[in-house]
Amino acid sequence: MESGLLIVISGPSGSGKGTICKKLIEEMDNIKVSISATTRKPRTGELEGRNYFFLDEESFLKKIKNNEFIEYACVYGNYYGTLKNEVLKELENGKDIILEIDIQGALNVKNNYPNGVFIFILPPSIEELKNRIVGRGTDSKEVILKRMQCVYDELNYAFQYDYVVLNDEIEIAVNKIKNIISAEKNKAMRNQKLIQKIQEV
Amino acid sequence: MESGLLIVISGPSGSGKGTICKKLIEEMDNIKVSISATTRKPRTGELEGRNYFFLDEESFLKKIKNNEFIEYACVYGNYYGTLKNEVLKELENGKDIILEIDIQGALNVKNNYPNGVFIFILPPSIEELKNRIVGRGTDSKEVILKRMQCVYDELNYAFQYDYVVLNDEIEIAVNKIKNIISAEKNKAMRNQKLIQKIQEV
- How many other CB atoms are there within 10 angstroms of residue B73's CB atom? 18
Q: How far apart are CA A139 and CA A127, in angstroms?
A: 17
- Cβ neighbours of A201 in B, within 8 Å: 125-127
Judge whether residue A139 has pLDDT over 80: no
Phi-psi region of A34 (alpha: psi -120 to 50; beta: other; left: phi over 0): beta
Q: Which residues contact A84 (CB under 8 A, 6 or more apart)?
A: A68, A69, A70
Q: Name the burial class of residue B182, with classes exposed (0-12), middle (13-18) and buried (19+) by CB atoms within 10 angstroms of its CB.
A: middle
pLDDT of residue A39: 97
What's chain A's average pLDDT?
Answer: 90
Judge whether residue B75 has pLDDT over 90: no
- When pLDDT is averaged across residues A5-32 and rounded to a whole number, the result is 92
pLDDT of residue A141: 82
Bridge partners (DSSP) listed for residue A69: A83
Q: Which domains does chain B have, with CATH numbers?
A: 6-199 (3.40.50.300)
Phi-psi region of A42 (alpha: psi -120 to 50; beta: other; left: phi over 0): beta
What's chain B's average pLDDT?
Answer: 90
Is residue A193 within 8 angstroms of chain B, CB to CB? no
* Exposure on the CB side of residue A62, measured as CA atoms within 13 A: 5
- When pLDDT is averaged across residues A78-82 and rounded to a whole number, the result is 92
ipTM: 0.85
- Cβ neighbours of A123 in B, within 8 Å: 198
pLDDT of residue A143: 81
Tabulate helix, strand, coil % of chain B (nearest 5).
50, 20, 30
Backbone angles phi, psi at A169, to 5 degrees: -115, 125
Confidence of residue A76 (pLDDT cuts 50, 70, 90): confident
pLDDT of residue B132: 75
pLDDT of residue B201: 63
Q: How far apart are CA A188 and CA B8, in angstroms?
A: 14
- How many other CB atoms are there within 10 angstroms of residue B44's CB atom? 5
Runs of H (alpha helix) within A13-157: 17-27, 57-65, 84-92, 103-112, 126-136, 141-156
Judge whether residue A149 has pLDDT over 80: no
Angle of the A17-27 helix axis to the A170-185 helix axis, nearest 10: 60
Q: How far apart are CA A118 and CA A37, in angstroms?
A: 20
Confidence of residue A63 (pLDDT cuts 50, 70, 90): very high
Q: pTM for the full model?
A: 0.86
- Cβ neighbours of B12 in A, within 8 Å: none
- Chain B residues 129-188 with CB within 8 Å of chain A: 152, 155, 158-166, 176, 178-180, 182-184, 186-188
Task: Give the tens place of pLDDT for each residue, B141-188.
Answer: 888 877 777 788 899 999 999 999 999 999 999 999 999 999 999 999
The answer to whether residues B129 and B12 touch, using CB atoms and an 8 Å cutoff, is: yes
Task: Give the tens place of pLDDT for each residue, B86-125.
Answer: 899 899 999 999 999 888 889 989 988 889 999 999 988 8
Is residue A112 within 8 angstroms of chain B, CB to CB? no
Q: Name the burial class of residue B82, with classes exposed (0-12), middle (13-18) and buried (19+) by CB atoms within 10 angstroms of its CB.
A: buried
Q: A194–B161: do the CB atoms touch at under 8 Å?
A: no
- Cβ neighbours of A178 in B, within 8 Å: 179
pLDDT of residue B54: 96
Q: Which one has a higher pLDDT value, B119 or A86?
A: B119
The answer to whether residues B122 and A198 touch, using CB atoms and an 8 Å cutoff, is: yes
- Cβ neighbours of A158 in B, within 8 Å: 188, 191, 195
Q: Could you say which DSSP state residue A20 is in?
A: H
pLDDT of residue B106: 92
Judge whether residue A7 has pLDDT over 90: yes
Q: Which one has a higher pLDDT value, A116 or B12?
A: A116
Q: How far apart are CA B114 and CA A89, in angstroms?
A: 35
The answer to whether residues A36 and A108 touch, using CB atoms and an 8 Å cutoff, is: no
Task: Give the tens place of pLDDT for each residue, A100-126.
Answer: 988 888 998 998 888 999 999 998 887
Q: A127–B201: do the CB atoms touch at under 8 Å?
A: yes
The answer to whether residues A180 and A96 touch, using CB atoms and an 8 Å cutoff, is: no
Task: Pick B179's closest partner by Cβ from A179, A191, A201.
Answer: A179
